[in-house]
Structure 1
Amino acid sequence: MTHSYALGVLHGDGIGPEIVPAAVAAADAAARAAGLAPIEWRELPLGLAAIGTHGSAVPESTLDALETVDAWLLGPHDSAAYPEPHRSLLNPSGTIRKRFDLFANIRPAKSFEGGRAVVPGTDLVIVRENTQGFYADRSTYAGTGEFMPTPDTAIAMGIITRSAVERIARAAFELARTRGKRVTIVHKANVLKLTTGLFKSVCLEVAAAYPDVAVDDFHIDAMTVHLVRRAHEFDVIVTENMFGDILSDLAGELAGSLGIAPSINASDTKAMAQAAHGSAPDIAGRDVANPIAIMLSAAMLLRWLAAGHDDPRALDAGDRLEAGVEAAVRDGVATADMGGTASTSAFTAAVVAAVGRA
């Protein structure tokens, strides 16, 4: 028996209303090809449009609805363009991550045959702790970790706790067991000795329970150099919040384009698929945006559902969706950021067709 899934859809801002429907179409095609029961997509308001209709970028009704679905697909948001006071509030994705304690941000970087990888053969995953670290919007229960005691002094707190590191480290080592059985810990323990020092030491403690997984570690500055020179040699990288954000953008470009960089944000019970890139308002509405990142995020979401429900058809659907994207690129269909001329809609049609052939 296959499960029937209800998934939320939040288009977001900028290119979101173009690329999110593209991912839905590709996921539906993959579900049909895998024999998965039709997905029930529930569209929910979020972003600038929701401010106009609901008075909030993340309406309470949207958050309540997310409680009732199995997982959801989130488009990019452009919170910097929101009118005040919405611009100064926690942004939509941060609000959702906090509400559902989505502590693991899983960000793969994989090059494509026929793509334009800076480092061909890149196939790694960055496992980013998503709730603490040096990001002010995630470091406190209420308010933020930034404050100004005087107009000329600004202070930011970085929070690292043993419990948060333990659970993200376990997620990284469990993932590594399904891949190349290698984990790299990234930190800055030579300078941030107490905070990222704790991150490093707790990760190494967790590593003891995974003797089959090889472990090494690098300082964040050295790691940027290693990625540029030999990204293809890394498997799973685990790090704190800000370092993970920076490294995953770099890794996405090394693999071919930030437009192909997917991610999911997950807890033990909920998951949110979200492309690693932003809303690209300069190209919004022109049918030129690259939908690969959000498509691959949807594929990750299907695999997450498969693992949680022991559902081989959902796993098959996720694999088919990724294979369809790879086939389209291999066949020379690509958007402008990857050196091609295909529109968003043309690339989507190519993926849907490739999924059907598979």
Structure 2
Amino acid sequence: MTSYRIALLPGDGIGPETMAATQIVLDRIVAEFPDIQLDCQSHRAGAELYRETGETLPKNVLDACLDADAVLLSAIGLPDVRQPDGTEVQPTMMVGLRRALNLHSAVRPVKLYPGAPCPLKHTGAGIDFVIIRENLEGLFASFGGGSMVGDEVATDTLVVTRTGTSKVVDYAFQLASRRNGRPRDGKRKVTCVDKANVFRSMAFFRKIFHDVAAKYPEIDHDAVYVDAMSLYMVQNPSDFDVVVMENQFGDILSDLGAGIVGGLGLGPSAEVGDQHALFQPSHGTAPQLAGKNVANPLATILSAGMMLDWLGQTRNDANCIAAAVAVENAVAEVLSHGQVRTPDIGGTSSTTDVAIAVADAIVASVRSDA
């Protein structure tokens, strides 16, 4: 039996509810995969804590995240809880976590499951690609910096380094080597998204992309300008497999990606570094829904599945990889049946109902395969 320490950060708004729902699923995973033990420890962090204490991420909580095998975060931040300069506390906490854990690659799957709502009339051969967002540099490198000249001029600096870009591009190619290729023809392909026709920093990003791509001759690669990519994701989503880009571009296009596959309630994510990883849904805290047990837990549940897969890949644990597959298959099963779903995707079920349905689907799948 392998035991993993998981730091849970339920956060704010609907965060505690979707985390509790995800815990139902993880408990079922542990029951059905006896060789996996998850030691989950919950910690307070975020806006409500800041309101009470003036801290969003206490040192003991950060230390717990650093000591854990993985971090599972639900949602952080509240619009009415702000720092003295008027900014929300969520960016400060998240950027701090990313920097402390050195999480260089943000991973946002864009996958249309059967039964999930899609606003597109045509999806080609289907939608199943992954956006890889550089997570520490780009325009976000200016967070906490930048400059102001009186009330007249403000500047932020976009930063691209060879080391940071090489890491995220290398991760993109490694991921492509494990996937089944793009839906249209099964070709494994990594696409660089940039604005290399205008900015030196983006031209440098593309140059590094091609340098890294040369190490993976078995995987096709190309480059697309970011404005064109926003069109192609809507018109021809089945053309893409793995897509890698600068931080700010990834921040924008990943939400577009979620929009074409059912919304942020179905958008999981991972933030991965050389030693650590953090997993969280793409959505926010939705305080207007908090306490009503109607929030969609599937993004958090799928993020937990990504956590199991990462543990399996990095620890060479086949049981964790199998458990990750079981989580995703169970979510797909629940969506395809269409009977249990939350209001955001056209249903009337509660957060808890959806979690129980996914947990039951895991049991049915695992036992049918036994």
1:63 aligns with 2:69: no
Q: What is the one-letter code of the residue matched to 1:94?
A: V
Change (3 A) 1:216 1:235: same
Instruction: After superposition, give the CA deviation of every residue in 1:177-206 in whole Å (9 maximum; x if it has no partner).
Output: 1111210100001111x1111111100110
Please state whether the residue corresponding to 1:57 is helix, strand or coil: coil
Assess if the C-alpha contact under 8 Å between 1:30 and 1:318 holds in 2.
Answer: no
Please state whether the residue corresponding to 1:27 is helix, strand or coil: helix
Query: How far apart, in 2, do the equivalents of 1:300 and 1:347 lie?
Result: 18
The one of 231, 248, 259 equivalent to 1:225 is: 231
Change (3 A) 1:230 1:355: same
Q: Which residue of 1 aligns with 2:77?
A: 78
Please state whether the residue corresponding to 1:117 is helix, strand or coil: coil
Unaligned runs of 5+ in 1: none
Query: How far apart, in 1, do the equivalents of 2:43 and 2:97 lie?
Result: 13
Q: Which residue of 2 aligns with 1:203?
A: 209
Assess if the C-alpha contact under 8 Å between 2:142 and 2:156 holds in 1.
Answer: no
Aligned-pair CA distance for 1:87? 5.7
Q: Which residue of 2 aligns with 1:340?
A: 347
Query: How far apart, in 1, do the equivalents of 2:172 and 2:312 lie?
Result: 18
Q: What is the one-letter code of the residue matched to 1:49?
A: E
1:18 aligns with 2:17: yes
Please state whether the residue corresponding to 1:277 is helix, strand or coil: coil
1:129 aligns with 2:128: no
Please state whether the residue corresponding to 1:324 is helix, strand or coil: helix
Aligned-pair CA distance for 1:257? 1.4
Assess if the C-alpha contact under 8 Å between 1:80 and 1:87 holds in 2.
Answer: no
Instruction: After superposition, give the CA deviation of every residue in 1:3-55 in whole Å (9 maximum; x if it has no partner).
Output: 21110010111110110111122122123223333311111110123225543
Aligned-pair CA distance for 1:255? 1.2
Query: How far apart, in 1, do the equivalents of 2:82 and 2:253 lie?
Result: 31
Aligned-pair CA distance for 1:346? 0.8
Change (3 A) 1:87 1:69: farther
- Count of aligned residue pairs for this structure pair: 351
Q: Which residue of 2 aligns with 1:237?
A: 243
Query: How far apart, in 2, do the equivalents of 1:87 and 1:312 lie?
Result: 47
Query: How far apart, in 2, do the equivalents of 1:264 and 1:86 lie?
Result: 30
Query: How far apart, in 1, do the equivalents of 2:79 and 2:93 lie?
Result: 11
Query: How far apart, in 2, do the equivalents of 1:32 and 1:139 lie?
Result: 45
Q: Which residue of 2 aligns with 1:113?
A: 114
Query: How far apart, in 2, do the equivalents of 1:321 and 1:87 lie?
Result: 40
Aligned-pair CA distance for 1:231? 1.0
Q: Which moved more, 1:326-335 or 1:216-225?
A: 326-335
Instruction: After superposition, give the CA deviation of every residue in 1:126-180 in whole Å (9 maximum; x if it has no partner).
Output: 0110001012xx347xx42x22112121111110111111010000001011111
Aligned-pair CA distance for 1:226? 0.1
Query: How far apart, in 1, do the equivalents of 2:222 and 2:198 lie?
Result: 19
Q: Which moved more, 1:30-39 or 1:337-346?
A: 30-39
TM-score of the superposed pair, with normalisation by structure 1? 0.94
Query: How far apart, in 1, do the equivalents of 2:96 and 2:78 lie?
Result: 12
Q: Which residue of 1 aligns with 2:196?
A: 189
Please state whether the residue corresponding to 1:320 is helix, strand or coil: helix
Change (3 A) 1:147 1:170: same
Q: Which moved more, 1:51-60 or 1:121-130?
A: 51-60
Alignment of 1:128-167 (within 5 A): 128-135=133-140, 138-139=141-142, 143-144=144-145, 146-167=146-167
TM-score of the superposed pair, with normalisation by structure 2? 0.91
Q: What is the one-letter code of the residue matched to 1:24?
A: Q
Query: How far apart, in 2, do the equivalents of 1:254 and 1:319 lie?
Result: 23
Assess if the C-alpha contact under 8 Å between 1:289 and 1:344 holds in 2.
Answer: yes
Q: Which moved more, 1:20-29 or 1:228-237?
A: 20-29
Change (3 A) 1:326 1:129: same
Q: What is the one-letter code of the residue matched to 1:70?
A: D
Q: What is the one-letter code of the residue matched to 2:154?
A: A
Please state whether the residue corresponding to 1:124 is helix, strand or coil: strand
Unaligned runs of 5+ in 2: 182-187, 366-370
Assess if the C-alpha contact under 8 Å between 1:35 and 1:313 holds in 2.
Answer: no
